[in-house]
């Protein structure tokens, strides 16, 4: 497996802003690409921008002193986190597969940049043959339609786990889900309905496309899915949001994530996935890990560490 990387900074205002940052932050990408070759299979990561999330919401019940020490160790602020949004692109010569579509224009101003990233990358949205969803949260799904309600990826077939589909398409979900997630439920239903005749619903464990297997990683959402991509003896897992932070989720996988709909199940899934990734030394791409989010999990002193590739 070979990894090469080219970071492309957004030109204009953002590049100027980046150049004004202290040394060390100056190369923070606005959008960019990175490549990893696994035989016939080529993996690139396109940035959709980033989110802005309050630390209290993401890590709600960690011991305050331990959390503060951990955030300090990773040079992270204690008030607001700004996780990147990394969209994985897989090309095998036949299929061009995009994992999730990003946030679109109506979620957060700092996200929804995939169109610009693709342009920079030199890929036309109509070249995407398949869109595969890890789950139906806004930052992964709401980029489906453009401002004119036309599909952003006009030639794509869509795929999502049956469990995830059934949950969000259920008209009672919006009533049952907690207050903070009601807009997520309404947005998921509206977006999914718009592609109802173009979407395949798969079961966990299925090989959904040649070389891509769906792995159950539920907890973050009821049908959250990770994907194992195999090419010869090499493999990589698109983990989605099952491990959503390079500091806390790796070092303290047992701390509940406020982003997980089922916190306890999220912990079980995270520990299981980390154990497998580390013991089998598989590459991973994390949607919210520092751009481009490619690396692997290393087990050390009973905890894990994200090692960027
Ligand atoms: Zn997410």
- Ligand 1 mean position, distance from CA 30 (Å): 17
pTM beyond 0.85: yes
Average pLDDT of span 127-155: 96
Interstrand relation of 234-240 and 283-286 (parallel, antiparallel or unpaired): parallel
Question: How many angstroms does the Cα of residue 164 sit away from the middle of ligand 1?
Answer: 14
Domain ranges of the chain: 2-308
Q: What is the distance in A from the centroid of ligand 1 to the CA of 218?
A: 13
The verdict on whether omega for the bond into residue 142 sits within 30 degrees of 0, i.e. cis, is no
**How far is residue 126 from each of residues 145, 153, 154, measured CA to CA in Å?**
13, 5, 6
CATH 3.30.420.40 fits 2-308, yes or no: no
pLDDT digits 0-9 by tens, 185-236: 999 999 999 999 999 999 999 999 999 999 999 999 999 999 999 998 889 9
How does pLDDT run across 65-119, given as a tens digit for each residue? 999 999 999 999 999 999 999 999 999 999 999 999 999 999 999 999 999 899 8
> What distance in angstroms lies between residue 260's CA and the mean position of ligand 1's atoms?
10
Q: H or E segment at 168?
A: helix 162-169
Q: Beta strand pairing status for 41-50 and 33-38? A: antiparallel
């Amino acid at each position: 497996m070979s990894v090469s990387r080219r970071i492309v900074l957004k030109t204009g205002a953002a590049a100027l802003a980046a150049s004004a940052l202290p040394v060390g932050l100056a190369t923070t990408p606005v959008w960019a690409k990175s490549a990893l070759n696994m035989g016939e299979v080529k993996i690139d990561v396109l940035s959709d921008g980033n989110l802005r999330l309050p630390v209290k919401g993401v890590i709600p019940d960690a011991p305050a002193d331990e959390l503060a020490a951990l955030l300090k160790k990773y040079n992270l602020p204690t008030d607001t986190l700004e996780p990147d949004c990394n969209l994985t692109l897989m090309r095998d010569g036949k299929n061009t597969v995009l994992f999730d579509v990003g946030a679109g224009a109506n979620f957060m101003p700092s996200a929804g940049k995939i169109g610009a990233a693709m342009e920079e990358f030199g890929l036309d949205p109509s070249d995407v043959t398949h869109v595969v969803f890890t789950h139906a949260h806004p930052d992964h799904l709401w980029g489906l339609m453009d401002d004119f309600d036309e599909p952003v990826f006009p030639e794509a077939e869509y795929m999502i786990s049956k469990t995830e589909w059934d949950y969000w398409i259920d008209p009672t979900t919006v009533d049952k889900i907690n207050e903070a997630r009601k807009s997520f439920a309404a947005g998921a239903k509206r977006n999914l309905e718009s592609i109802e005749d173009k979407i395949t619903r798969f079961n966990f464990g299925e090989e959904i496309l040649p070389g891509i297997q769906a792995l159950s990683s539920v907890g973050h959402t009821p049908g959250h899915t990770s994907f194992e991509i195999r090419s010869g003896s090499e493999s990589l897992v698109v983990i989605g949001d099952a491990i959503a932070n390079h500091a806390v989720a790796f070092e303290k996988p047992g701390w509940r994530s406020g982003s997980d709909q089922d916190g306890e199940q999220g912990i079980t899934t995270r520990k299981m996935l980390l154990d497998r990734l580390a013991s089998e030394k598989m590459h991973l791409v994390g949607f919210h890990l520092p751009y481009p989010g490619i690396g692997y999990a290393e087990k050390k002193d009973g905890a894990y560490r994200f090692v960027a590739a």
